[in-house]
Every structure is written in C-alpha cells, then in structure tokens.
Amino acid sequence: MLYRLRDAGFTACLVGGGVRDLYLNKTPKDFDISTNARPGQLRKLFRNSRTIGRRFRLVQVFFHGNKIIEVSTFRCRSEFDINGKDKVLAANNTFGSLADDAFRRDLTINALFYEVENFTIIDYVGGVADLNNRIVRIVGDADRRITRDPVRMMRALRHASRTGFTIEEKTWQAIVDHRETLKVCPVSRIRDELFKDLHGTSIQAWARLAIDSGLFFVIFPFYENIISSRENEKTSLLLSLFGVMDRLQKEGYKIPDHLLLALLLIPWAQHTFPLMREKITGKEAYAMSRDIKTALDKNLPHLNIKRADKEHIAGLLANLSLFASLYKTGKWPRWLTRKSYFKEGAQFYQIFREASGGKPVTTLKLEQKTVKTKSRKRGSRSTGSKVASAPNTKGGIFGFKK
C-alpha cells in the first residue's frame, strides 16, 4: 500500500502504534497509514475500500483473510488555532502536513512515522527518545491538550500500564489537575475507552494509575469512600480481581462486558449490601438483586450500560454469597445446576474465590479467543472487521530495525 501510494505521487507513512511496537521489537497488533491523499483519491486508488467516520473521514482497505488497514489523511493542528471558549475540541475535517499530523497526535510515542523511501523513522516530537527512556508524554502543552480532549488522560494511563512506562511529570500533573474535565466528554467515548482497558491484559496496573491520579473516582464516583491509593481490604480485593482478569485474558479467555463490570463492582457491592457476606436463601438473593439493580441505575447512568447487562450484573452480585455457601458443601445441589444463571454464576464465583486467596481457576468455561480465516471465492468481497497485523518475523516489515 505504501509503495502504491508513493507510485501514485503521494506521500505515505506507517504511523502510530505499529511504528512504536516495531521499534520495541514487538509484533504490532495492527497497522495504520497516514498520507496526503484525500479520502476520495484513496477510494479511487484502492477499490477494495470504504470510507468511515464522522469527525474525521478514514478509509478502510480490505484484504484477504478479512483483514483491514486504516488509512487517514494528514490532519492539521487546528486545535492550536482555536481561541474560542469551547470546552472540548470541535469536530473538523481539516487536512494538513506530515508535521501538523504529528503535533496533533495524543502521545509522543504514538506520533512517529516510518517511511519506505529511506527506511527511516520521522520524529517531530521526541517520541524515539521517550521510547528509549520508557516515558509516556502528551504531545505539546499537556494542560491545553487535555482540556481540549480529556479522553487523552485515559489513553495516557492505558499506554503507561500496557508498556510499563513512566508517565512524564508534567503530563501526570495535568491529569491530576484536570481529571474532572472527563465529565464533559460524551458517554460513548468514555465507555469505549474504559472497555479497551478492561479487555486488556494490564488492568491491575491501569487501576493503580487510575486510583493514584484520581481518574478512577471520576469514572466510578461511588468508589470514592471505599477504596484509596492506601491499601485497604476493599482496594486489595479490587486489585486482586483485576490480577485474575489479567491472567485469564492473557491466556486467551474472552470475558464478556457485563462479567467484567460485575467483577469490578464486587468490593462496592459488599460495602453497600452487607447481606452479601451472609448465608442467604434464593428468595433473599432475588430481593437483593432488585436492590442492587436500583443502585446500578443510580450509579452507572454515565456509562450507558444496557438494561439487560445491568440485570445480569445484579444477579451475579446478589447470588455470590449463595454460591460461596453452597460451594463449601463440596457439591452443587441439583436444583442450582438447573438454574439458567448457574453456569455464569459458578464462573463468577471461581474468579472471586481465586482473587480472595483461593485456588487458581482451572476449569473456566469462558469462550476463548480464536482467529478464523475463510477462503473466498474469486470476485467475492470481504465483509469482516479484523485489522491487518504483521507476521511474526525477525526485523518486522520493510526491513524495519532500530
């Protein structure tokens, strides 16, 4: 694709996380390309493509095996020219140069370009130095960039937790100072960014950073007086739960959204509903699930959780003590195994038991992530949504090396 764009007279570079991962000798999860070609020109050049996006138009190019590479046009630094009183960055579709595009990106380590003419990295923002020094830094003035788009705080924490890098001092202070501005962001963006963290394999590290910065309590305000950066019983339980979730997802288990949220909410539920710690009957568990559902409606409106998911979460939390008491008998009673919630409830309890110091979960029946590829007939068009990734070969692609 890069060579085709070059041969057509355009400038095109590999950009973002793919360059970062290749520099760190990791296999990129996906590849993104930036170019000075406009979306319409890209569609003419790549017939196997489609245009997506509202705030900024992107072109997705489809390949065999249901793989996709996203191509964006260089954007300008329009937010630096906005002097109005807008609280957040306005939507725009303004095109710019390679340098403009670099300075508009969120983090220095993700603002690197790799070009195929000379097989070199183009670095306008000091991203290579930050990679070498293991630093996460917001591009430009951290205070201004965060107030223009507060979601950048969540991205900074995510990349720091996933890479083990240290957040640069000014960036960290800006996150602490402006954490409340996250509330002005659309619910959908916060929710999407949150689940990117929860579906990762470094949730525990992310949680520590989020708690220390105070961002955790902006997303989950009901945890304000329950957990803290100083270790206590509930904080330790929450971090242990995240540790188990990390392990399971590293092993390839796909944990559903509602199960992730239910695990995250266990310390809060135990604090709010003391009956969860007592031996209860099925009827008492049902009554408590109604109370939990009401509390979820009150505390989670800002995350736009589906009603069905909240019902599942309430049921899992309410039945946790029931599963705990029945597990001690050594065998699940037949009446419980016939319940529709038994399978998921038992899995939920196993994860909780491991986080509480019990034996590691070894018989989990969660769906495991698999990669399926189907051969296509000539002339058929791919409709999948997988993103193209690099083969596990030494030196990456295009002879890329440090």
The tokens for 46 are 């790549």
**What are the tokens at 205?**
């590290």
Of 142, 138, 120, nearest to 130 (Cα)? 138
Nearest CA to 6 among 118, 125, 122, 99? 118
Other residues' Cβ atoms within 10 Å of the Cβ of residue 247: 16
DSSP string, 75-100: B--GGGG--S--SSPPP---B--HHH
Indicate which residue of 30, 123, 177, 246 is catalytic.
30
Using only the alpha carbons of the chain, give its radius of gyration. 24
Residue type at position 152:
R
- Pairing mode, if any, of strands 12-15 and 32-35? antiparallel
Q: Check 81, 100, 101, 106 and give the catalytic one.
A: 106
In 26-145, the DSSP E strands lie at 32-35, 49-52, 58-63, 67-73, 112-115, 120-123, 135-136
Give dist(CA 247, CA 249) in Å, integer. Answer: 6
> Is there a catalytic annotation at residue 141?
no
Q: Give the whole-angstrom CA distance, residue 272 versus residue 325.
A: 20
Give me the catalytic one of 21, 32, 101, 130. 32
Please indicate whether residue 30 is annotated as part of the active site. Answer: yes
Q: Give the active site residues.
A: 30, 32, 106
